[in-house]
Structure 1
Amino acid sequence: MDSETLLARITDYANRPNPYPLYAELREAGPVVRQADGSYLVGTYHEIAALLHDPRMSADPRTRTRGATAFKPPFLRLDDPEHHRLRALTMRPFGPPHSPGRVDAMRGEIDQLTGELTESLQAGRQIDIVDDFAYPLPVTVICRLLGVPREDEPLFRAWSDTVVTAADVRPEEDATGDATERGAAGDQARREMGQYLVDLAEKRRGGPSDDMLSAFVNEPDPALRLTREELAETAVLLLIAGHETTVNLITNGVLTLLRQPEQLERLRSEPGLLPRAVEELLRYEPPVHMRERIPLADFDIAGTTVSQGTSVILALASGNRDPRRFHEPDRFDPTRPDNEHFGFGSGVHLCYGAPLARIEAETALGALIPHLGTARLVQDPPPYRQNAMLRGPRHLLVQL
């Protein structure tokens, strides 16, 4: 059956520019669709929301019966109570929820960095939105927050690319020698990156500075300290997640607005709509398309029994376009009401860095929009990154 090949087709690079017809096919096939490799795909909004909030569904890949790894994942892929403990410890230097913290203090710096990047946006020039703008901004911000030297960016960019490539969602039948090699390379890159970040932190032990690595390693309360392994995994997660998804969010935003000049013009004339436009972008073209969950026991999902340890892929981007939840879901509408999307996930694993990503996206798009009125795309669709889970253009060439 064609429905059993949906995951293979969604992850096929040929469909990276526009996977949305496949998501529509997934929703039509049913709330839960078994794949040829034995995994299950879920593409409807209400079922995804319920599963993201259900503690019987594990985020930990070590609970899989097939393809499990012995490598301890970062807290993003752990279950409570361990997930809650590590997330709470990490939040302390990042800033408490709903209170002014390190992120709010970065607003001025983000404005300044954005201003510096827009200085090069001169009429008649061709730029790459990714390399010239969407990548440098969040990378510089997360480097400053963590305390990572910006000049080491080429080093950790290579590690980050390797880790992200290995973390992609792929059908089990694709678990060939190449997939095994990618997984081993990802584990090695994670180890090297973790060692690099722990070494940086150790240099600040006893001589704290105003960054998160310093705060982690100089925590005075033994009960609130991260172990060396936890520090390595957490720092790797923050460095990668702190820029990877935001690059996609900004780039997808520019691509969407250049394809829809009437909405671009509307945002130029009504800049107050920008925060709602960012929320709509998170629904319409989210930076994260899929997440995996694993049942801790045999589990019923919308009438389908899924066995313990089976991989269940939640197609978040499909849920974001479910017509049973959103009116005219394939239309980009910056005034959309009741926009409870999955752009940052949902439940206990709701994106840790969502406040920072929102500030960066609003600032970046606010600075770019005045320059895009007469701009044109050099190539549409643009070349995309290989990763199907973290979907976004690898380059986005624009003629100003």
Structure 2
Amino acid sequence: MSEVIERWNVHPTRQWLRGIRPANPIEFDEEIGAWCAYGYDEVEQILGDHATFSAATAKYAAVQVDPKFQEGDISQMDPPEQNKYRKLIGHAFTPRVINGLEDRIQKITDELIDEVQEKGSFELVADLAYPLPVIVIAEMLGVPLSDRDLFKGVAFDIIENMAGLDFVAGGDGIEDQIHAAEARLKPMLDYMADQVAQRRKQPREDLLTYLIQAEQDGERLTDNEVVNIANVLLITGHITSTMMVGNTMACLDTEPAVFDQVRADRSLVPGAIEEALRLLPPAATLSRVTTREVEIGGVTIPAEQMILPWVSAANRDPLKFDRPNVFDPARTPNPSISFGYGVHYCLGTRLARLEGKIAINTIMDRFPKFASNPENPPTFFPSTDMVGVRSFDVLYK
């Protein structure tokens, strides 16, 4: 689906977003200084084999980040270390827990759209795609909704000013960029540390208190681990959902006939979300490091080499997907790996999909003439490794 890319100028450096495939499934990128995997089978193999392709990549980055930012970060862990944290966090995202949130998510969505109709203008990201997942996860954690502008400011600022590839590639000014990113994140760390301290004194019925009190194998999390886990849930979790909703509506807006089809047959809404995730995955790439010499995709990669599995390229692999660049909500099967694969499969997937389904169905119910504003077209985050709508001015009357 190169139309949405060309129409709204999504970051131009990744050619597969424009329907052009890399020459080989595995290549070494001299500019980044890392191996890159583009083929579906190769990306799936990398994500599924944590013994050979470790997620603990931080120590191999061009510049080292303060360790206090990494305590409890399960994205940087492999089993068995990761198991304790996934079990603790996973209790908050079971099917029963998430299904129990459906009515509340619908109510929040209705209230946000009521506000849109009262004021007479609609900016999709600011008015719905951003606040919906933030309110949901903030309520789960038990943090005040009045502070959501802080969460948005920190998250958007980091995405716009610090690409994950910079940590790998290094280069001039990278240390200053990383120190600036740490400084931008510090207010969130301080904020969440204060919330944790409050729960120590006065426990509540919320996820933050659960993380403080829960035990796994006789051990509890440290305060710093709780702070970092909560920040990951709050910032990373909502950004994925925000981008997913924005990207889905961007795809539908680009294909009016498909939009009409989905509007008429709501059973296609989940498929539309999956197709948007496949074509425009919020996390375009991840990072791994080889623990041993390995042959993959016809090349031999030595041990201790950084490798980037490009999910966004794998999701358009013609060896795996028929008509890979076509947005088809009826595509079956649709084995995209936008939420990861293997032991690092995203814990919040079920929640994100539920939020997306409710948001998009409600948009179609309440705004039968939904369309982007041609005089103020959608913009995307200027990131090489994340794909997401940054702003989306809506015409609906």
Q: TM-score, normalised to structure 2's length?
A: 0.88
The partner residue of 2:29 within 19, 29, 35 is: 35
2:279/2:325 contact within 8 Å kept: yes
CA separation in 1, counterparts of 2:120 and 2:280?
A: 27
1:31/1:47 contact within 8 Å kept: yes
The partner residue of 1:118 within 113, 116, 127 is: 113
Alignment match, 2:77: 78
1:168-203 Cα deviation digits (max 9, x unpaired): 2238555221x2222112233444423321321221
Verify: 1:182 aligned to 2:177, yes or no.
yes
- Match of 2:355, SS state, is helix
- Across the aligned residues of Structure 1 and Structure 2, the Cα RMSD in angstroms comes to 2.6
The partner residue of 1:53 within 44, 48, 54 is: 48
Q: How does 1:1-400 map to 2 (within 5 A)?
A: 16=11, 19-21=14-16, 24-25=19-20, 27-37=21-31, 38-55=33-50, 56-64=52-60, 66-69=62-65, 71=67, 73=70, 74-92=73-91, 94-96=92-94, 99-101=95-97, 103-122=98-117, 125-164=120-159, 165-166=161-162, 168-170=164-166, 175-177=171-173, 179-205=174-200, 207-219=202-214, 223-379=218-374, 382-400=378-396
Change (3 A) 1:359 1:335: same
1:169/1:290 contact within 8 Å kept: no
1:68-119 Cα deviation digits (max 9, x unpaired): 5462631112122111221112223x144xx412x22221110001111222
Change (3 A) 1:120 1:161: closer
Q: Does 168-177 or 279-288 show the bigger shift?
A: 168-177
5+ residue gaps, structure 1, are 1-9
- Match of 2:383, SS state, is coil
2:133/2:241 contact within 8 Å kept: yes
- Match of 2:308, SS state, is strand
Give 1:42 deviation, angstroms. 1.0
CA separation in 2, counterparts of 1:201 and 1:135?
A: 24
CA separation in 1, counterparts of 2:326 and 2:282?
A: 17
Alignment match, 1:7: none
Q: Does 13-22 or 103-112 show the bigger shift?
A: 13-22
Q: Does 188-197 or 313-322 show the bigger shift?
A: 188-197
Change (3 A) 1:15 1:175: farther
- Match of 1:309, SS state, is coil
1:62/1:70 contact within 8 Å kept: no
Give 1:158 deviation, angstroms. 2.7
- Match of 1:394, SS state, is strand
1:110/1:363 contact within 8 Å kept: yes
CA separation in 2, counterparts of 1:286 and 1:118?
A: 25
CA separation in 2, counterparts of 1:284 and 1:14?
A: 15
Change (3 A) 1:395 1:267: same
Alignment match, 1:3: none
Identity %: 28
Change (3 A) 1:375 1:123: farther
CA separation in 2, counterparts of 1:155 and 1:64?
A: 31
Change (3 A) 1:115 1:290: same
CA separation in 1, counterparts of 2:352 and 2:187?
A: 26
Q: Does 203-212 or 257-266 show the bigger shift?
A: 203-212
Change (3 A) 1:192 1:307: farther
5+ residue gaps, structure 2, are none
Q: Aligned AA for 2:212?
A: V
- Match of 1:337, SS state, is coil
Count of aligned positions? 383
Q: Does 298-307 or 325-334 show the bigger shift?
A: 298-307
Q: Does 361-370 or 383-392 show the bigger shift?
A: 383-392
